[in-house]
């Protein structure tokens, strides 16, 4: 069974983040009204991606018969998947910024080319070095890559036959996250452990779907992780993460439109700010009435989606195929308990990436 819910959730998450930046975080183009209010919490799409990634990355590893000896190949495979579109998006930001500065009446921040921040972008290190991101959504990719580093090390413990070990590792990861929580570590938002309850919501959902947890055990974990997310990240994040996990676990969402947006979700996530944002900024100068401002916002959304679709076919799709060419060594499949569930999560690239 193909898990269509993942496609739908990715589509919703990418659209939500895009709508947030076009309609709410657009420099005052919209500052009130129902459209503005509908976009205010669109940033929660990033948290949806964290839960989806928590689920689908271990599933891909489980299906590929991952072992700790495959750690290097796993990281290479992940970087081949997310790297080329990300690096292309970094170049896109630089090019569009340079072109924008040449436009008459440019009112944005001037861009000065500097190799050091660009090198930091390559290795997702900006937050650790005190450097700003060229695109405000890039911080989540840095968190995602930290998650890849972590899950590759602990995966075998999370899928072993001994429940005590699986439970201990899950609880241990949660405890580390709570110990590193602000204010113990100032500005901890760039650390994967600040968002560990969301990733763990995805991980325990994977364990449940793979037959490694009973329904009662799973629901207990979801309640506990939701409570920790509420404490660490706030009520909106906790509710979003919990609902996302339960949808993956129990609901089959089938929608062709959302499936399309799920397919291009990574491309849309990466490119909507520099592309749609340029439309907002350029045409917003000539929008003097509320109706004109609304039209600008919808046009920015349309241009962002159209560009993302082209970006997917030209840049992301080849990266998907490249990553798929890497496989782990053939060996006997890791087995869950008797009666384990089998399912097809569709494209198993994970999280922020579809």
What are the tens digits of pLDDT across the range 111-145?
666 788 889 999 999 988 888 899 999 999 999 99
pLDDT at 255 over 50: yes
With H, G, I as helix, E, B as strand and everything else as coil, classify residue 247: helix
Q: Cα–Cα distance between 232 and 324 in angstroms, integer?
A: 36
The total domain count for the chain is 1
**Is residue 141 domain-resident?**
yes
Winning range, highest mean pLDDT, from 113-117, 147-151, 161-165: 147-151
Give the distance, in angstroms, between the CA of residue 220 and the centroid of all CA atoms in the same chain. 25
With H, G, I as helix, E, B as strand and everything else as coil, classify residue 344: strand
With H, G, I as helix, E, B as strand and everything else as coil, classify residue 2: strand
Q: Using alpha carbons only, give the angle 230, 232, 236 rounded to the nearest 5 degrees.
A: 40
Residue 354 pLDDT: 40
Residue 250 pLDDT: 95
CA distances to 96, 132, 261, 302, 315 from 309, in Å? 18, 27, 9, 11, 10
**Is residue 340 domain-resident?**
no
The rounded percent of the chain whose pLDDT value lies above 90 is 63
Q: Read off φ and ψ for residue 4, nearest 5 degrees.
A: -65, -25
**Is residue 332 domain-resident?**
no
pLDDT at 76 over 50: yes
Q: Decide if 228 contacts 171 (C-beta within 8 A).
A: no
pLDDT at 338 over 70: no
Please, what's the largest Cα pairwise distance for the chain? Answer: 68
**Is residue 349 domain-resident?**
no
**Is residue 347 domain-resident?**
no
- Segment holding 181, helix H or strand E: none
Residue 287 pLDDT: 72
pLDDT at 101 over 70: no
**Is residue 344 domain-resident?**
no
pLDDT at 343 over 80: no
pLDDT at 99 over 70: yes
Among 120-129, 234-243, 334-343, the minimum mean pLDDT is found in: 334-343
Q: Read off φ and ψ for residue 165, nearest 5 degrees.
A: -70, -45
The rounded percent of the chain whose pLDDT value lies above 70 is 85
Angle, in degrees to the nearest 10, between helices 4-23 and 45-63: 150
pLDDT band at 261 (very low <50, low <70, confident <90, very high): very high
- Give the Cβ contact number of residue 337 at 10 Å: 12
Give the range of the structural domain holding residue 211, as residue numbers without chain letter: 4-324
Among 60-64, 104-108, 349-353, the minimum mean pLDDT is found in: 349-353
**Is residue 303 domain-resident?**
yes
Q: Decide if 271 contacts 314 (C-beta within 8 A).
A: no
Residue 342 pLDDT: 46
Q: Which two tokens stand for residue 110?
A: 């001037």
**Is residue 145 domain-resident?**
yes
Burial class (CB in 10 A: 0-12, 13-18, 19+), 144: buried
Higher model confidence: residue 173 or residue 341?
173
């Amino acid at each position: 069974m193909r898990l269509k819910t993942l496609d739908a959730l990715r589509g919703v998450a990418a659209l939500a983040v895009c709508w947030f930046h076009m309609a709410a975080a657009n420099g005052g183009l919209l500052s009130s009204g129902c459209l503005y209010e509908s976009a205010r919490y669109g940033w929660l799409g990033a948290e949806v991606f964290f839960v989806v990634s928590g689920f689908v990355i271990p599933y891909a590893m489980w299906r590929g018969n991952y072992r700790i000896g495959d750690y290097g190949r796993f990281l290479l495979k992940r970087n081949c998947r997310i790297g080329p579109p990300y690096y292309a998006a970094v170049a896109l930001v630089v090019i569009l910024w340079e072109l924008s500065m040449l436009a008459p009446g440019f009112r944005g921040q001037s861009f000065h080319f500097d190799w050091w921040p660009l090198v930091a972008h390559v290795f997702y290190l900006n937050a650790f070095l005190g450097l700003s991101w060229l695109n405000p959504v890039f911080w989540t990719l840095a968190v995602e890559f930290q998650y890849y580093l972590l899950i590759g090390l602990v995966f075998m413990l999370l899928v072993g036959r001994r429940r005590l070990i699986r439970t201990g590792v899950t609880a241990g990861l949660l405890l580390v996250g709570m110990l590193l929580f602000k204010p113990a570590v100032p500005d901890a938002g760039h650390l994967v452990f600040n968002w560990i309850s969301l990733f763990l919501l995805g991980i325990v959902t994977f364990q449940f779907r793979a037959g490694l947890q009973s329904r009662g055990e799973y629901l207990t974990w979801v309640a506990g992780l939701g409570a920790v997310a509420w404490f660490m990240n706030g009520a909106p994040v906790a509710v979003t993460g919990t609902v996302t996990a339960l949808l993956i676990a129990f609901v089959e969402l089938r929608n062709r439109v959302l499936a399309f947006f799920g397919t291009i979700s990574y491309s849309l996530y990466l490119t909507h700010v520099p592309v749609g944002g340029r439309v907002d900024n350029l045409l917003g100068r000539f929008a003097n009435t509320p109706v004109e401002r609304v039209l600008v916002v919808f046009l920015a959304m349309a241009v962002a989606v159209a560009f993302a679709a082209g970006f997917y076919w030209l840049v992301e799709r080849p990266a998907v195929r490249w990553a798929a060419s890497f496989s782990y060594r053939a060996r006997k499949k890791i087995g869950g308990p008797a009666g384990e569930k089998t399912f097809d999560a569709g494209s198993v690239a994970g999280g922020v990436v579809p």
